[in-house]
Structure 1
Amino acid sequence: MRSRMIAIAIGFVLAGWQPHLISLVVCACLACITLLCFKFISWHYKGLMLCFVGGFIYATLWGHWQVSHKLSDEFVRTDWRVTGVITGLPRTEKGVTHFNFEVASIEALSDIEISDLSVRKLKLSWYKPSQILKPGHKLRIDVRLKPPHGLVNPNGFDYERWLLVRGFDATGYVRSLEITGVSSFSVIDNLRDLINLNIESRYENPKAYALLQALITGYKKNLSDESWEILRRSGTVHLAVISGLHIGFMAVLGWWIGRIISFLLPRTVAYLPYVLSMMLAGFYMLLAGAEIPTQRAFIMIAVFVSSAMMRWFVDHWTRWWVALVCVLALSPLAAFEVGLWLSFGAVALLIWFSQLSITWYSVFKLQLALLAGMLPLYLFFFSGASTVGPVINLIAIPLVSVLVVVSFINLILTSIDLYWLAYIEQTIVRLFWWMVENAASWEWAFIDIQYQTILSLCLVVVACVILISPKGWIPKPLAFIFLLPLVFNKFENSRLDQEFDVIVFDVGQGLAVLVEVGEYRLLYDTGASYKSGSSAFERSLLPYFQSKGIKQLDHLILSHDDNDHVGGYSVLTKNTAVKEVYRSFGRVDESNKYCRRGDIWHVGSTRFEFLAGSEGIEDNDRSCVLLVSNKQCAVLLPGDISKRVEKRISIDQNLNIDWLVASHHGSRTSTSDAILKGFRPKHVIFSAGYGNSFNHPHPEVVKRVYKSGAQAYFTATDGAVFLKSRKENRCIAESMRHEEIRFWR
């Protein structure tokens, strides 16, 4: 049976990797051929083949179903009247209310030809809300919608996949809203809202109530970035995110309650412990919002508990594979979720360690073994690991387990004005934060470790297998030989003098360009900051910086004082040191200089030159214009300059450049014939937001670029664009969406 589960799981995973989903006709033909082979061909492995093809076809059909509901790209920034009900918990921050909306009916507010529109759920924002929204509110709203779309960057979060998995078929914002009633099917969400209000009313410290809300209702929005960083460094993030650990604890608690009842009332059903175990775990999952991670955890618990209840005498590994298949059946793209790898990886290690001998120090040994076993996943997903986690979790896990039980009892008591457990709850919360804050403050609490190649990561896997193998199998010191590539991981930067790489990040409406020459790094602009408090730098650049271990920039160019270009500056400086800044505005000092025409410096054979900057009155025209070139390739970064400045810098230029980042995101006032004829670029990159309200890039500009003979790239539809200067006069241009094709994009 285990082999069949493995075959189904492989089918699920491979279907998710399809660049384009095979058609329904092909699915039908594939199913018929497989059934005929199974019927008439005598082959020992035909059962596995049937399972594999069945999993592949199932996942493909699931993909077709999800994609078929998405709002089409032709309806970008269109207005609709929608009726339906709010699902989940609305949240309001900095004057904006965000909520999920289940659609009952939808009609266009303009003359749009609509055929077979089947939008199911929307993710909406309401700016400057005039009413407080609650779970279950029925609404009639006028909204401006666009298809599900996300920023696509190296090592970045795949927002489009996230939306697809959770069934969001469009995003947008509210233009007008009317509450028409309250749904009677939102009992759980209303209970979650009441619990959150109860917790907030009892605590003044946001950090305290944010932790309790995360543990009881799965509401994590009140945990600040500072709190998440503390949890990350202390290795306790998993404790603040309801997962298998929490739901498993509830399952164990339910089982023991059932055992006690069975002992006191011998005539009760023998299955009572198992039934209560799943009921309590299921209730906790619903109370946590029934998000994908909690559903995944509940399914895993349900498989293990139900198999024990039904006396299903199979080994734990078979149950593990059955649970994995059930989770993938719920969402075949779960294989792309970090949480699935972490949760199933941890359970696999626990199954493995359960076969080893148990001693008095087994708990501490288990924590170290889990760290060693999970190290490859930590390196792959997070580029580092917490060194204090194994020790802190010895105390934090039982502490949080007690806190969950005490908090549930306290919720019941405080609802009838009894505060008997309030002091105990507050003490545990304070103790938890005191412990993790002190652990995180240690300089070596979290070690950043970058692997340079897949081969080095595979060697780490071998090392970890040696470390967690039973005593006497393989000499443990051998593991440290395989870990050497992590220590000597600088070999990749042997190309220093004659090559450079440029990444035009997909930051939405804005600009951020990273230039790398070996170990030298220059960042041109930082992208925008948002009303929510986040920034394009956090979403687009920071994941790449963390994965590559970039903690310092040699130069930062702030082209001009517009939010969409320099809004991420404060977040950048919190995470990354900067040696020297060139700018066209603000105060200057020894490390902050104005960019001036004629300023030149070299890194190896790569030349950096300002062609203009810090001149004139208009902010856009003061932009720092930077030319980066070597003997093979050249790229021009002009900021937001207008046609007038373009004409000035193009005079007397006899230079064929390979790449031009379009001025002012392709606005009508820039990227003129002057700059296209003066520099004769082979590729023009437009950095602009998807469906932006500025109509960037303007159709006239795009037409002008194509007429000049250049190839155009658009970050909105191509994702991040990579420009690579290589030996033998090779200048390569690639884009994320074309190099990493996914069927949901």
Structure 2
Amino acid sequence: MANRRELTGIGRRPIVMLALCWTLGYAVALVYPMAWMNLFLAFGAGIFCCLVLMLKPRGSAWFAGMLIALAAAGWYGEYDAGNRSLIRLEAEETNGAGFRGRIMTPVEVDGDRVSFQAKADRVSLAEGFPPENGGRGELVQFSIRLVKQEEQEMAKHWQRGDKIELEGTLLRLGEARNFGGFDYRDYLRFQHIHWQMTAKGLDGISVTPPAFGEWGGWLVLRANDRFREQLAAKVEQLFPEEQSGFMKGMLIGLEDDIDPELFDQFSRLGLTHIIAISGLNVAIFLACLIWLMRRCGFTRETYLLTAIALMPVYIAVTGAAPSIVRAGIMAMIGLYAAYRHRLKDGLHIALIAGVGMLIWEPYYLVNVSFQLSFLVTLGIILGVPAMNKLLPLKRPRLRDAVSITVVAQFVSFPLTIYYFSQFSLLSFAANFLLVPVFSMIVMPAGTAAMLLSFLSLYIAKPFAWFVSQVNTLLFWIVDGSSRSEWFQTIWPSPEPVWILMYYGLLALLVVLMLGERDSQEAGEKTEPMLYTMAEHRGRERARRWIRYVLLPAVIVSFAAVLWTGYDPRREKAEGRVHFIDVGQGDSILIQPPGNGGSLLIDGGGTLSFRKPGEEWKQRRDPYEVGRKLLVPLLKKRGVQTIDELILTHQDVDHFGGLQAVIEQIPVKRLIFNGTLKPAAGVEKLFQTALDRGIQLVDARAGDRLEKGQGTVLHFLYPFREADGSGLRLEQDQNPSSIVFLMEMSGTRWLFAGDIGEGAERKLLERWSALEPGTSKLLEPPVDVLKVAHHGSKSSTSELWLRAWRPRHAVISAGVKNVYGHPHPSVLERLAAHRVSVHRTDRHGEVQMTVREGKIYMRTKMKE
């Protein structure tokens, strides 16, 4: 019963109450910011809390908790209110902005791009209000595009602490343009950055090292950067190129060079914590350090104090991510408690570290690394003793390993699917089997090789060779396991209520299982004669109630919550059409009512204008719209399978993102226009589809596709060739774009690909020539028209609009695209026909919901 008493008594611990109430106050201030949440509230609530704790009136614990939450809300509100820019600018950008300041972060040179953050001494604007205090102290994100290869070497010599002066374009940071998409503006705002500055080429940019005698916190970090670069250089010398990036991430926290494909494989199996520096690294570092000092004859007090002193150095060298800071602080508190011969309470140590970090930097609350690190740590501290009691394993080490893995998986599951929208059923096995190998072999031996290389490469290379062989085997296992679609599940991002229900039912399930086991053990050990017959019957009834009623009910409820989270749209009577903002391109997700399955029309694509001889501009992980934007969005929306993937035509701004889609999301059928464009990307896409067993369907006018309840697709174009010829090569794909009409719950939608005026006329003439009554498809109006070719002047003719008489139109085009889409003449024609126009370049994503024959619209951005 001790474990259960410990679990139920947590709320009476003052440190636990402080941590819970402080976090709750932060969460309220984050979600519902108010002007009165400020420093006055923080100090006032803090003073009243002290009075309550001294006087101890009735209900003082609850009252004190409320006051702590109010104090936390005031502290967060004051901190957040101070996070504002000194630069006031009405426009989204301004040219000719001058900047003079100091580089505050390591400088990253990636292909033709240089990026870093710098703090201003002075900012000057060609227009608008002058910055407050001349902009001094403003932290700015820089992105400089190189124009000559020799500029790469020049930029590689820039370091933290260098003074920089330049003139460029000052941009307001971009916000998320799709619902649930990554918000770069918020991401940098939580780093106290509100503006980005861009420049082209290094001409006119002055970068000078700091003068002798200059001092600042950047000086220590500058030296730390140099040391990390030396360590990284040693890792590159020791390990093969395909492993060096992984080893740099694991050993010193430098993750920029990790192969993106390898990172994706680890992510699919839930193994990214191996790469990220965390508590596991700290534990191994301390174990090796203390073992070495004990072997050298150090006293207990000496090696404990030495370990405490070296921990901040280790944190700095490994990058000081929130997870490593948390583990380092916990380690220092634990080591100091051991030094003072005090009782070490893991729960209190973790919570003291967490509250301390949140007071120092309140924005840690929204940091994924901080959330996962603390959640798993607290789960292991609280859950492993209970799980050890429930598992029928006799060997302590095996039981502990299984318990830690099970608890970590269950505790981290909601946040894992919230942020990454996927979970592998092999995650438990992968963590149980592979983590010990990485932690007990790869990490220690790799660290030893890296440090020994400073003495002699000949001594270090045998260690590195052994590690590389182990890595080769482990990477092969990870690659094979991550490719299996049978074990990969996709989960939509859950709502906060669902997460609370998950944790509540999970806790209740553990408590009931513990209670059942405790009562069973107590019944076996207690003599029956010690109880009266009535007491014995009462205990048996209570035990049967828990075992046969309450426990099964909680298990069923927990399973129902999981199923609801996995498929929240099941049997929904509404349909949805998402016009996703993929920049200059098309991508439309259709989710019919009921169980009609999902359709995806096109996948956008990243246009490249690189010329031969410009290979030096290639970036390590270039932006690709399918992998970086489309696939994460589809997963967040719970698209577990795509029944039909409709490729209207094979231009890169329509097919480019689909390669990532078919590699990461199961697709049943790929519908295309019956042609093949001679291009490497197209051939790779179709070959991947064939390799994965995806059915290829040649769509032609007259074909029909039924999707669930009241949803039908009528294909209108292209027409079948008179000679019945099969697949043919076509370089110019626009005239052969697939055009189809969709009927959904009494509404009509026309999707026109990229056809031009000639194809529009041809389509109308052919369908109008049918016998009267043969088809009613051309009967106007249509509710929604997807405007062809991004609003090009060569499409959406007067004849086309008169024939269909659309009520609403959606134009998918990139912001400030080089083609000038949509063309003013198209907008004028749409306006003349009184068509309501929504544009992704202005409104971001356009979502339309069909409910009871009516269309409800919303856009991500307000014009």
- Correspondence for 1:97: 113
Question: What one-letter code is carried by the residue in structure 2 that aligns with 1:637?
Answer: F
SS of the residue 2:749 aligns to:
strand
In the TM superposition, what is the alpha-carbon distance from 1:220 to its structure 2 partner? 1.7
Equivalent residue letter for 2:23: A
Q: Secondary structure at the match of 2:82?
A: helix
Residue 229 of structure 1 deviates from its aligned partner by 3.6
Question: Which one-letter code corresponds to 2:406 in the other structure?
Answer: L
- Matched position secondary structure for 2:458: coil
Deviation at 1:242, TM superposition (A): 1.2
1:607 Cα deviation (Å)? 2.5
Q: CA deviation at 1:703?
A: 7.6
The 1:563/1:301 distance shift into structure 2, 3 A limit, reads farther
Kept in 1: contact 2:741–2:748 (CA 8 A) = yes
Match of 2:748 in 1: 634
Q: Which residue of 2 aligns with 1:554?
A: 643
Query: Taking structure 1 as reference, are residues 660 and 413 closer, same or farther at Cα in structure 2, changes over 3 Å only?
Result: same
Does the aligned pair in 2 maintain the 1:88–1:289 contact within 8 Å?
Answer: no
Picking from 444, 461, 473, the partner of 2:515 is 473
Q: Report SS of the residue matched to 1:167.
A: coil
Match of 2:581 in 1: 506
Q: In 1, are the aligned partners of 2:490 and 2:640 still within 8 Å (CA)?
A: no
Q: Could you tell me which residue of structure 2 aligns to residue 167 of structure 1?
A: 192
Asked if residue 521 in structure 1 is aligned to residue 574 in structure 2, the reply is no
Q: Is the 8 A contact 1:689 1:715 kept in 2?
A: yes
Report the Cα distance in structure 2 between the residues aligned to 1:430 and 1:221, rounded to whole angstroms. 23
Deviation at residue 145 of structure 1 after TM alignment: 4.2
Q: What does residue 574 of structure 1 align with?
A: 663
- Find 1:602's aligned residue among 706, 716, 722: 706
Asked if structure 1 preserves the Cα contact closer than 8 Å seen for 2:112 and 2:152, the reply is no
Contact residue 448 and residue 463 of structure 2 kept, 8 A: no
1:195 maps onto 2:319 in alignment: no
Listed one character per residue, the Cα deviations across residues 111-155 of structure 1 (whole Å, up to 9, x for unaligned) are 555444744121415244523223335444444443222444455
State how far apart, in whole Å, the 1-side matches of 2:829 and 2:34 are: 37
Equivalence for 2:5: none
**Structure 1 position 457, deviation (Å):** 6.3
Name the CA distance, whole Å, in 1 between partners of 2:69 and 2:347.
19
Q: 1:306/1:82 Cα in 2 relative to 1: closer, same or farther (>3 Å)? A: farther
Question: Are the counterparts in 2 of residues 82 and 103 from structure 1 also a CA contact under 8 Å?
Answer: no
- Tell whether 2:812 aligns with 1:687: yes
Q: Where does 1:197-216 land on structure 2 (aligned, <5 Å)?
A: 197-203=233-239, 205-216=240-251
Is the contact between residue 598 and residue 611 of structure 1 (CA under 8 Å) also seen in structure 2? yes
1:448 corresponds, among 489, 496, 509, to 489
Q: Which whole-Å deviations, capped at 9, do the CAs of 1:676-722 have from their partners, x for residues lacking one? A: 66545444434344455555556786687677655554445654332
Q: Show the counterpart of 1:54.
A: 71
**Is the 2:384–2:400 Cα contact (8 Å) retained in structure 1?**
no
- TM-score, normalization by structure 2: 0.72
The answer to whether the Cα contact below 8 Å between 2:100 and 2:163 also exists between their aligned partners in 1 is yes
Residue 625 of structure 2 is aligned to residue 625 of structure 1: no
- In the other structure, the counterpart of 2:848 is 723
Cα contact 1:528–1:535 (8 A) shared by 2: yes
Structure 1, gaps ≥5 residues long? 739-744
Match in the other structure for 1:120: 139
CA-CA distance at 1:424 after TM superposition: 1.7
Going from structure 1 to structure 2, the CA distance change for 1:419 and 1:352 (only over 3 Å counts) comes to same
- Please identify which structure carries the higher helix content: 2
Give SS of 1:361's match: helix
Deviations 1:542-577 (A, max 9, x none): 124445664543332333443222211322232243
Query: Residue 362 of structure 1 corresponds to which residue in structure 2?
Result: 399
Match of 1:5 in 2: 19
Distance in 2 between residues matched to 1:349 and 1:554, nearest whole Å: 39
Larger radius of gyration: 2
- Report the 3-state secondary structure (helix = DSSP H, G, I; strand = E; otherwise coil) of the residue aligned with 1:289: coil
* Mapped partners of 1:375, 1:556: distance in 2: 30
Q: Which moved more, 1:207-216 or 1:522-531?
A: 522-531
Tell me how far apart the structure 2 counterparts of residues 432 and 482 of structure 1 sit (CA, whole Å). Answer: 42
Q: Write the letter of the residue equivalent to 2:79.
A: W
Structure 2 residue identity aligned to 1:362:
R
**Alignment TM-score, normalising by the size of structure 1:** 0.82
How far residue 194 of structure 1 moved from its aligned partner, in angstroms, is: 2.6
Change over 3 Å in CA distance of 1:164–1:488 after alignment to 2: closer
The CA deviation string for residues 255-277 of structure 1, in whole angstroms up to 9 with x for no partner, is: 6667778x6358xxx5x555433
Secondary structure in 1 matching 2:19 = helix
Supply the distance in 1 between the matched residues of 2:842 and 2:308 (Cα, whole angstroms).
45
More off after superposition, 210-219 vs 689-698: 689-698
Partner Cα separation in structure 2 for residue 174 and residue 614 of structure 1: 49
1:290 maps to which of 304, 317, 320: 320
RMSD across aligned positions (CA): 4.4
Q: Is the 8 A contact 1:528 1:537 kept in 2?
A: yes
Which deviations, in whole Å up to 9, do the C-alpha atoms of 1:147-199 show, x marking residues without a partner? 22244445544433322223343345431214532348322222222322222
Identity %: 18
Quick one: which of 255, 258, 264 aligns to 1:223? 258
Show structure 2 runs of 5+ residues with no match.
1-13, 212-218, 390-395, 518-546, 609-620, 679-685, 721-729, 769-777
CA distance in 1: counterparts of 2:494 and 2:298, whole angstroms = 60
CA-CA distance at 1:348 after TM superposition: 1.0
Q: Decide which moves more: 570-579 or 419-428.
A: 570-579
Secondary structure at the counterpart of residue 380 of structure 2: helix
* Alpha-carbon separation, structure 1, partners of 2:784 and 2:476: 47
Deviation at 1:209, TM superposition (A): 0.9
Q: 1:181 aligns with which of 202, 208, 212?
A: 208
Where does 1:588-599 land on structure 2 (aligned, <5 Å)? Answer: 596-599=700-703
1:313 & 1:38 partners in 2: Cα distance? 28
2:435 maps to which residue? 396
Output aligned runs, 1:2-401, within 5 Å: 2=15, 3-18=17-32, 21-23=33-35, 27=38, 44=60, 45-68=62-85, 72=89, 74-76=91-93, 78-93=95-110, 95-104=111-120, 111=127, 114-116=130-132, 118=135, 119-128=138-147, 129=149, 130-132=151-153, 133-134=155-156, 135-136=159-160, 138-153=163-178, 156-171=181-196, 173-177=198-202, 178=205, 180-183=207-210, 185=219, 186-203=222-239, 205-251=240-286, 253=288, 264=298, 270=301, 273=303, 275-302=305-332, 315-353=345-383, 355=385, 359-366=396-403, 367-381=405-419, 382-387=421-426, 389-390=428-429, 392-393=431-432, 396-397=435-436, 399-400=438-439
**Aligned partners of 1:32 and 1:264: how far apart in 2?**
46
- Report whether the alignment pairs 1:658 with 2:783: yes
The alpha-carbon distance between structure 1 residues 391 and 624, as it changes in their structure 2 partners (threshold 3 A), is closer
Give the whole-Å Cα distance in 1 for the aligned partners of 2:664 and 2:485. 17
CA contact (8 A) 1:368 1:390 kept: no
Q: Matched residues in 1 for 2:311 and 2:423: separation?
A: 32
3-state SS in 1 of match to 2:152: coil
Q: 2:529 matched to which residue of 1?
A: none
Aligned-residue offset at 1:346 = 1.3
C-alpha displacement of 1:296: 4.5
- SS of the aligned residue for 2:858 comes to strand
Mapped partners of 2:342, 2:266: distance in 1? 39
CA contact (8 A) 1:138 1:182 kept: yes
Report the Cα distance in structure 2 between the residues aligned to 1:165 and 1:592, rounded to whole angstroms: 46
Q: How many residues align?
A: 727
Structure 2 contact 648–739 (Cα < 8 Å) conserved:
yes
